[in-house]
Amino acid sequence: MGDSDLLHAPVGRRGFVKGGALATGAFFINTKYGHLSLAEEPASPFTTPWVQPLPFAPYAIPVPTFEPLDPLPDFSQFQRYNEFPAADMYKVRICEALFRAHPQLAMCPHTTYGGTVPGPTFMMRYGRPVITRWENSMPPSMPSFGSCDVVTHIHNGHHAPESDGGPWNYHHPGTYRDCHYPNIYAGGDPLEAKGTLFYHDHCHDFTGANVYRGLSGFFLLFDNLDSGNERDTNPDAFRLPSGVPDGRRLKGRYDIPLVICDRRFDQNGMLSFNTMEMDGVLGDKYLVNGAIQPYFEVERRKYRFRLLNSGISRFIDVWLSNGMTFQYIANDGNMIPAPMTLQNVPLGVAERADIIVDFSQLPQSTTEIFLVNRAEQTDGRGPTGNTLPMAQSPKLLKFIIRPGVVADPSRVPSTLRALPDMNLPVAQTRNWHFDRENGLWTVNTQLFDENRCDAACKIGTAEIWNLSTAGGWAHPVHNHCEEPRVLTYNKKSVANTILQGRKDVHPLYPGDEISVYIKFRDWLGRYVMHCHNLTHEDHAMMFRWDIVP
């Protein structure tokens, strides 16, 4: 690699290793100097809001049964495959594609799943296992930021480590990786059902850049209760607002996945990403399902919105602009015991919330309202804690309410899913402290090392993990495979709050401590817990833990 090649090499720990800089300490620079601060970065070009409709990702379609994957997967690599053989197979091509976030911006290269941003929506059912082949069709090198190496993680998936999408399992252009998703309840317990999952790239050192370039999409799971059919005749079915799949479209779209993120663009309309920023990367444009400030026409009836904060470092606080309430039914995709009536829901990076909005409550004179973000955040450290005045809050999505009365067979039941029992013995208690040491992001004062196991957890047991942080930063902490149940937040009960029950993302604000109960079941192998401010994750705020016999 010559000097000119180094100028275009990906920036990240692996990029610097290839350039020989890590050994000299050149990578760990003080980022307060030598680059522009967030306030100094050029603003994105002006874009007119509400000129494009809300886009929707296509549905992932299985490979036809008469056209199997070629070559066939090596089924022997998957734990318990004989118990959960694949009923369907999928093939997703990870490739570069031109995409425009707004009509006033240029077509811009993105890294995509199947050529779309967001990637295709997977509509999965419990008890129907699948195999997905992730094909890396990226070019052999990147012209700007990001990596041509990829690995896909089903966020909040209960999967064996060989299919989990761990950051060390990245694969190169021209190769593929087969993953087995058994779609089973953790521990065989239906109370462990998860509904709103998503998938994204998890390439070691480049997760933030690759997600920023477009690598994310929804992975939805249904069962006999949350069946995805508002006309379900099963008396136990929730009959929540839904859409009826019809090929790649929906007949009656009332179950709406919303990928919310922020991005920055240069004056040529190209994505702009500060690779030297270690606190966190913020954009000045809000995108929903890949479009800058779109509009969505709704009927005067109930809708289910699956909110996902897919940003890199930005926390959001979602409100409706008229202050109306909604029914909050799920945190991180998990049904809570009973709906909560709320005006707002805060979301750290990678947190999700399922909410039901009933537009029939609005006066006939109301023709439009907005989804807004009232969280003030001025840098990548985290939100300031201030709630912006409604009039000054960034608008994310415009709802245009159609006139007239429509039939609405959907409902919001008064009870949803009870919380699973904490029925496994607690083997031990561990403390995990997320902090900054000498300018570096650490967990328990250590940088991530994939070859070091920081916790060997015995299968069939449970543990208490205490998560904490200090300093002036917020850390949305995410755990792979097993989903902890929150016990206390700053020593207080979380009953009847949005933190109740199981969560896979735990937002730690400065000085916070969260205590969780975590079980270890079904699979053996190595996983990670990490900060989901992806800038922090890519700069070593992660640790490895293993499930062992």
Identify the structural domains of the chain with CATH numbers, from first to last.
Answer: 75-237 (2.60.40.420), 255-401 (2.60.40.420), 426-548 (2.60.40.420)
Q: Give the position of tokens 């270890």.
A: 520
> What's the pLDDT at 1?
30
- How far is it, in rounded angstroms, from Cα 49 to Cα 47? 6
Predicted pLDDT at 248: 46
143 burial type by CB count under 10 A (0-12 exposed, 13-18 middle, 19+ buried): exposed
User: What are the residue ranges in the chain where pLDDT is below 70?
Assistant: 1-40, 244-252
Q: What is the DSSP string of 429-464?
A: EEEEEEEEETTEEEETTB---TT--SEEEETT-EEE
Q: Would you give the end-to-end CA distance of the chain in angstroms? A: 45
Strand order, beta sheet including 426-437: 440-443, 426-437, 462-469, 513-519, 485-489, 492-493
Per-residue tokens: 55: 């886009």
Rounded Cα gap, residues 489 and 500, in angstroms: 10
**Does residue 216 contact residue 226 with C-beta atoms inside 8 Å?**
no
**HSE on the CB side for 430, CA within 13 Å?**
15
Q: Which pLDDT score, from 0 to 100, does residue 252 have?
A: 54
| Interval 25-58: pLDDT, tens | 222 222 322 345 555 678 999 999 999 999 999 9
Rounded to a whole number of angstroms, the CA Rg of the chain reads: 22
274 Cβ contact list (under 8 Å, min separation 6): 35, 36, 41, 281
Question: What pLDDT was estimated at residue 7?
Answer: 27
pLDDT at 246: 52
Beta bridge partners of 199: 154, 217
Q: Which amino acid is at 32?
A: K
Structure tokens at 487: 């016990």
| Per-residue confidence (pLDDT) for residue 66, from 0 to 100 | 85
At 253 the pLDDT is 87
